């Protein structure tokens, strides 16, 4: 006998740029974000891959994104009575995430997708999310987006064993610029540090190696200490 099950989709998830251009707001119903969280959960924190060097680093990166989605689904981040595209009163919940954080999260997720079985629903969700990220970029500033899109589409060295620390470094430098279109247009230059074999890539790697030696630990055990004041600005 043929059985039918509920078709769980997430067509209502969308993204808009934040006011000051520091990143995006991802919005959806509670069910939408729970579904997104469920899919992302497949691609990190799998004990079968802990022996792969760099896997736990990507866990840190993806888990920070996943955590925000989970908190947002509870209504603990952003809330609206309706979406940006409808006046129909349906509760929407959302979260804010910076450009570096969302780009690196997508890069890490796509890299980890190669390790586990995926279905068309998983792939459709990632394509849907990428579409809205790119649209939010374009809607904020097309000039900056032209330079930034390559990093969403393969320029970042996804195999970097210290991807999380590289993201934190770029993110802190980006926030120090205080937002706005000028900062957004300079982000692609900051992102050069993520390109394998670039001078910036090796400079940061050498710095991390020296810091690890100074504190007698592994690079992956380092934690970037930011001045929290740089994050106390309008998104």
Query: What token pair was written down for 145?
Result: 């987006």
Residue environment code for 41-70, b if the CB has 16+ CB neighbours within 10 A, otherwise e: ebbbeeeebeeeebbbbbbbbbbbbbebbb
**Does residue 53 form part of some domain?**
yes
Whether residue 19 contacts residue 234, with contact meaning beta carbons closer than 8 Å, is answered with yes
Domain of residue 159 covers: 14-231
Q: Which residues contact 10 (CB under 8 A, 6 or more apart)?
A: 28, 32, 35, 36, 125, 128
- In order along the chain (235 residues), what is the average pLDDT of each group of 10 residues? 42 90 97 96 92 92 96 96 87 97 97 93 94 97 97 95 95 93 97 96 96 93 73 78
Q: What pLDDT does residue 2 have? A: 44
**Does residue 9 form part of some domain?**
no
DSSP state of 28: E
Q: What pLDDT does residue 224 have? A: 77
Which backbone phi and psi does 44 adopt, to 5 degrees? -155, 165
**Does residue 4 form part of some domain?**
no
**Does residue 8 form part of some domain?**
no
**Does residue 2 form part of some domain?**
no
For residues 170 and 168, give the distance between their C-alpha atoms in angstroms, rounded to a whole number.
Answer: 6
Where do we find the tokens 């900051």? 190
Q: What pLDDT does residue 226 have? A: 66
Q: What pLDDT does residue 153 have? A: 93
**Does residue 7 form part of some domain?**
no
Q: What pLDDT does residue 231 have? A: 65
Strand-pairing partners, residue 97, are 24
Q: What pLDDT does residue 6 have? A: 40
Whether residue 14 contacts residue 83, with contact meaning beta carbons closer than 8 Å, is answered with yes
**Does residue 43 form part of some domain?**
yes
**Does residue 24 form part of some domain?**
yes
- Number of structural domains in the chain: 1
């Amino acid at each position: 006998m043929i059985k039918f099950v509920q078709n769980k989709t997430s067509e209502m998830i969308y993204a808009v740029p934040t006011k000051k251009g520091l990143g995006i707001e991802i919005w959806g119903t509670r069910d939408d974000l729970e579904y997104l969280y469920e899919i992302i959960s497949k691609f990190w924190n799998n004990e079968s891959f802990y022996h792969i060097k760099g896997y736990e680093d990507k866990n840190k990166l993806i888990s920070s994104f996943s955590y925000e989605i989970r908190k947002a689904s509870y209504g603990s981040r952003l809330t609206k009575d309706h979406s940006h595209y409808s006046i129909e009163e349906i509760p929407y919940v959302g979260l804010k995430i910076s450009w570096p954080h969302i780009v690196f999260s997508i890069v890490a997720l796509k890299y980890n997708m190669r390790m586990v079985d995926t279905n068309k629903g998983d792939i459709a969700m990632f394509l849907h999310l990428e579409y809205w990220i790119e649209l939010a970029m374009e809607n904020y500033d097309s000039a900056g987006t032209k330079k930034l899109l390559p990093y969403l589409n393969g320029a970042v060295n996804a195999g970097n064993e210290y991807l999380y620390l590289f993201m934190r470094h770029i993110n802190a430098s980006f926030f120090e610029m205080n937002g706005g279109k000028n900062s957004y247009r300079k982000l692609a230059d900051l992102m050069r540090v993520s390109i394998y074999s670039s001078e910036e890539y090796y400079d940061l790697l050498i710095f991390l190696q020296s810091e690890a030696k100074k504190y007698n630990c592994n690079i992956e055990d380092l934690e970037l200490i930011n001045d929290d004041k740089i994050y106390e600005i309008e998104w």
